[in-house]
Structure 1
Amino acid sequence: MPLNAPLTEDFVRTLAPDEASFKAASEISQSSRLQNLGTSSDGTWMLGEFTGMGPAPYKLSADFHIPNQPVLQSTSPSRYHPDKYTLGMLLKYAHNPDSFGVKSPSIELLARREKVLAAEERKKGVFAKKGGKKDEEKKQLLRLEALEAANHMLVDLAAKGNWFSENRAEQFEKLCKQLNEASLPSLAAQFKRVALVGKEKGLKDPEKNLLGASALANCEAVLKKTIHFLGTDTSKPSEEDYLLEQFLDMHWSISDLKARGYGKTDLSLFELAYERLDDEGRATRMEVSNLLDLNTGELHQSVAYRPFKGLTPIPEQVSYTTPIHVPDAVLYPGSLNRRVRWEKNSETTGVSSSEALEATYGHAIPEFEPVIDEFRSQLEKPFAPTEAVLLLRCAKLGKVNDKVVVEDSNGGRLELRDRRKDYSHLFNFKRAAAMLRSESPALLVRLAVSGKQIIAYPLAMITPKHHLKIGV
């Protein structure tokens, strides 16, 4: 019986703790010591054994009851998880599924799965019981007190200045804590950014004052916007619905979003790039799967927000190695790159990767200027996202003086840059460009503003036959 999830070498690579483990797993996948291989009749288990150095073979198992998040177990003494033996078993299946027979999991493995499922159900029950009128009244009181404290801080800073003294740093920290406890994350993040400017080393006082003034202006703007949302009837659909989570920490359920008219059915999605972005102001990691709607050509984002102090309890955003079909989903309001959500594990394998690549290349935008104008229009809206991901068709790729640029068929240009100091997307872009230059590739980029210039960070390069991800 085949597995209930597609299994590829690229997917197994994402599970490996490091490259050395993946290479060792590749060798093990070809070893005759990997034996007694099988999958369960319902396609949710993969089982096997490896004859190691001990008296008994290592027992290997992979639980695929969540298709894209297998639970891997091994009795080997390896300190790595997952170990090279289990990864080797997965690679064996990816390369030669016919070598696997039918095999049933042990009672112990089934009991372990039941224990995990029971814990998840209990967690859902606890979350369902939270809330109520008294809780909402208490939250409202906390918000009013926090907003008053924020307004007082702004007035005091405008009157007395002295933004970056040690005493001010303590006040900022106390206020940010109060705002977060009142479920006002965006306002807390803005004040924290003021504090971060104060701590920035290497900045002279005039530069600190300039950056601090800009950050404080943002604090005032976000404060006004937050008060606006608190006085708005949030039960009715609004173009600003997508900002409610940002400003008031109102986490919409999928059913709520459907009731507001944001439901979508039969989405055919293809992940073009996966990103991890850190927001120091919110102390949060944002993990983004950039997904192309193969029917419309729109680029959506499936997002996981994971606070630095609580990464482990919150699941990672899944990276989809094959095209997927989502029968029932919701799209947040917005213009470019609307957020997409659906019930966990409701997605299934979609069209073939070759078909998806051809469709993707066909959706690439041939001229830069019209879509950059659309991005400029988005920037003019208060509190709209200041970045956007686009798929552009490139006529030329190369360097102009010391700048790396791409050009469309009309001569429109975009400068490409590295986003991070510890990882070079441009280096990977140059390698990909050398491979695909003659094929007029499509380039997935993240647009951003640098000074008065719109620049782009390269994310992936696509042709009808190739898909090269440039980095995370």
Structure 2
Amino acid sequence: MKGNTMISITEAYVDSLAINASAMKNGRDLAKKKSFPMLGKSIDESLIFGECKGSGKEPYRCSVDLVKPDEPVFRCSCPSRQFPCKHILGLMYAYAQGDSFVTADIPADIVEKREKAEKREEKREEKKNEPQGEVSPKKKKTNQAALLKKIAAQLEGISLLEKLIHQLTQAGLGSLDKKTLKTLEDQSKQLGNYYIPGLQIAFRELLLEIGSANDLKDKESMYSAIVEHLGILHTLVKKSRDYLTARLDNPDTPIDIETTLEERIGHAWQLAELREHGRVRSGAELVQLAFLSYTDQARSEFVDEGYWVDLRSGRIDVTRSYRPFRAAKHMREEDSVYQVVMPQELFMYPGEINARVRFEEAALRDVVEGDYVQIATAAHKSFPEAIKLVKNQIKNPLSDKHPALLLSYTEIRRVDDGYVIVDGQGKSIMLADVAFPDRATTPLIPLLNKQVVHNQALLVLFGHDRQTNRLQAQPISIVTPDEIIQLLY
């Protein structure tokens, strides 16, 4: 945005606001088809507004208010449950693409809304300045009417998802052809209107898994995984409904910040929220142990993922950036980092063994030999204790089934047709490619220098082998006293 505001309305910024790929496409189409007969902006360009052709006689009136650049306000007269709706997205795309906006006075209704917002802000400031000994009679509350409306829509969407699952199971896995799967995929797009993008993605993952199985000659080998996926989806639907129903009955029930359920439903955590709930830490020193980019077809996004160890705490956390297919060319792709990253603030998403983390600003320094020693010190020395941690996590149907741990080993040993790592007590863990079917790392083990197959630390991703009913681990990176050897890219 030009003028006195602090935010730049670019196509990438608008892409980041879209609730899903469908909303992004619809917004772009409106701008492309010149569906805005009127486009206006304030003199200081803190407000853009317009009228968009709709299905009725009257156009939809939409605006983007950036009087507070860090807290943009979106308004639209349409009845859509999506927010921001396609009309707001289209308005911003039109601005970002350089369409002509006429300079005009700020509409009277928006002037009035700004004045009311200023009064509310003044009242908040007055409460902040009250003497510390006095207790304010009222707590700051969320907009309960909007919250209840959103939760009701989410529950409606869950009911629709259950119908789709019932259709799928009633047809029988063996009889699902490409045409039926395409029909279910098209029907699942309706879920994008109910604020449950996470549940929508989970259903699409199931459809993609079934489609992959149908392309195989040996379909039976995939059916156990599909049935397991169905069970997980059933649990997710049940827990989501129970959680949202409880919040609908009591809107003052706090949001779940301990588990990943909110994110699995589709909540996109904002940094301000994480800070408000105390999910931020300072003083972290992060070293990247592995980095990879991959395609998530269910999300229609590219994913950039990094595994990091905190030199201070020894935690293994994950950074994860999403680039929608349609917006990828406008977004910066993440890359490997070979220095120690020292964030001003490290934000932690709800999670388990490996929390997702994020940082905005950070200082960098070179890695020194002492850092590698510090990393090795944080590795788990006892395999039975590490396995207990993993089992406690993956027994929860909604938990990450491929947690990452750093293990201290005395030897990488060949057994039969495979390899194991051995701890100081002689306990072993089988190495296998369990997490990334298209990225094998165990075949690289014979290529390792003989010096690194003894007494080092190994970052692994765990997985459960259904045939043997045992845990296996995929080797990702080896940490030696003077380097990190990455097996996965």
Q: Same fold (TM over 0.5)?
A: yes
Kindly state the Cα deviation for residue 348 of structure 1 after the two structures are TM-superposed: 0.4
Given the alignment, which residue of 197, 210, 216 partners 1:185? Answer: 197
Counterpart in the other structure of 2:6: none
Counterpart in the other structure of 2:394: 379
Distance 1:157 1:424 in 2: 33
Contact 1:172–1:191 at 8 Å: present in 2 too? no
Kindly state the Cα deviation for residue 184 of structure 1 after the two structures are TM-superposed: 1.9
Contact 1:274–1:319 at 8 Å: present in 2 too? yes
Distance 1:305 1:234 in 2: 32
1:245 aligns with 2:263: yes
Distance 1:234 1:323 in 2: 42
Given the alignment, which residue of 447, 451, 466 partners 1:431? Answer: 447
Counterpart in the other structure of 1:53: none
1:444 aligns with 2:456: no
Contact 1:164–1:195 at 8 Å: present in 2 too? no
- The 1:278–1:362 alpha-carbon spacing in structure 2 relative to 1, beyond 3 Å, is same
1:268 aligns with 2:212: no
1:217 aligns with 2:221: no
Contact 2:204–2:298 at 8 Å: present in 1 too? yes
**Please, which runs of 5 or more residues in structure 2 have no aligned partner?**
1-65, 84-145
Within 5 A, what are the aligned runs for 1:154-233? 154-159=165-170, 161=172, 164-199=176-211, 200=213, 201-203=215-217, 211-231=225-245, 232=247
1:143 aligns with 2:154: yes
- The 1:220–1:203 alpha-carbon spacing in structure 2 relative to 1, beyond 3 Å, is farther
Distance 2:208 2:217 in 1: 12
Contact 2:409–2:457 at 8 Å: present in 1 too? yes
Distance 2:459 2:240 in 1: 34
Kindly state the Cα deviation for residue 294 of structure 1 after the two structures are TM-superposed: 0.5
Counterpart in the other structure of 1:327: 344
Counterpart in the other structure of 1:61: none
- Aligned partner letter, 1:434: K
Counterpart in the other structure of 2:28: none
Report how many aligned residue pairs link the two structures.
347
Contact 1:263–1:330 at 8 Å: present in 2 too? yes
Distance 1:276 1:205 in 2: 29
Distance 1:314 1:401 in 2: 47
- The 1:263–1:132 alpha-carbon spacing in structure 2 relative to 1, beyond 3 Å, is farther
Output one character per residue of 1:409-463: Cα deviation in whole Å (capped at 9) or x when no partner.
111112222355654422433333534235x111111111221221111111112
1:466 aligns with 2:483: yes
Within 5 A, what are the aligned runs for 1:41-440? 125=69, 128-130=72-74, 143-159=154-170, 161=172, 164-199=176-211, 200=213, 201-203=215-217, 211-231=225-245, 232=247, 236=254, 238-248=256-266, 250-343=267-360, 346-350=361-365, 352-418=367-433, 419-420=435-436, 423-438=439-454, 440=455
Counterpart in the other structure of 1:118: none
Distance 1:388 1:358 in 2: 23
Output one character per residue of 1:212-271: Cα deviation in whole Å (capped at 9) or x when no partner.
4443333322222222343335873645453312312x2111121011121211111111
- Aligned partner letter, 1:388: P
- Aligned partner letter, 1:362: T
Kindly state the Cα deviation for residue 390 of structure 1 after the two structures are TM-superposed: 0.9
Kindly state the Cα deviation for residue 392 of structure 1 after the two structures are TM-superposed: 0.8
When the two chains are superposed, the root-mean-square deviation of aligned CA atoms in Å is 3.2
Contact 1:389–1:447 at 8 Å: present in 2 too? yes
Distance 2:369 2:482 in 1: 7
Counterpart in the other structure of 2:138: none
- Of the structure 1 ranges 310-319 and 218-227, higher mean CA displacement relative to structure 2 is found in 310-319
- Aligned partner letter, 2:373: E
- Aligned partner letter, 1:242: T
- The 1:334–1:361 alpha-carbon spacing in structure 2 relative to 1, beyond 3 Å, is same
Distance 1:208 1:331 in 2: 35
**Please, which runs of 5 or more residues in structure 1 have no aligned partner?**
1-121
- The 1:161–1:465 alpha-carbon spacing in structure 2 relative to 1, beyond 3 Å, is closer
Distance 2:243 2:453 in 1: 49
Identity of aligned residues (%): 21
Output one character per residue of 1:148-186: Cα deviation in whole Å (capped at 9) or x when no partner.
322222344455547514553233112321223433233
What's the TM-score once normalised by structure 1's chain length? 0.65
Contact 1:302–1:339 at 8 Å: present in 2 too? yes
What's the TM-score once normalised by structure 2's chain length? 0.63
Contact 2:413–2:420 at 8 Å: present in 1 too? yes
- The 1:412–1:275 alpha-carbon spacing in structure 2 relative to 1, beyond 3 Å, is farther
Kindly state the Cα deviation for residue 308 of structure 1 after the two structures are TM-superposed: 3.8
Output one character per residue of 1:90-118: Cα deviation in whole Å (capped at 9) or x when no partner.
xxxxxxxxxxxxxxxxxxxxxxxxxxxxx
Contact 2:269–2:349 at 8 Å: present in 1 too? no
Distance 2:396 2:299 in 1: 22
Distance 2:310 2:449 in 1: 25
Kindly state the Cα deviation for residue 291 of structure 1 after the two structures are TM-superposed: 1.0
- The 1:238–1:420 alpha-carbon spacing in structure 2 relative to 1, beyond 3 Å, is closer
- Aligned partner letter, 1:151: E
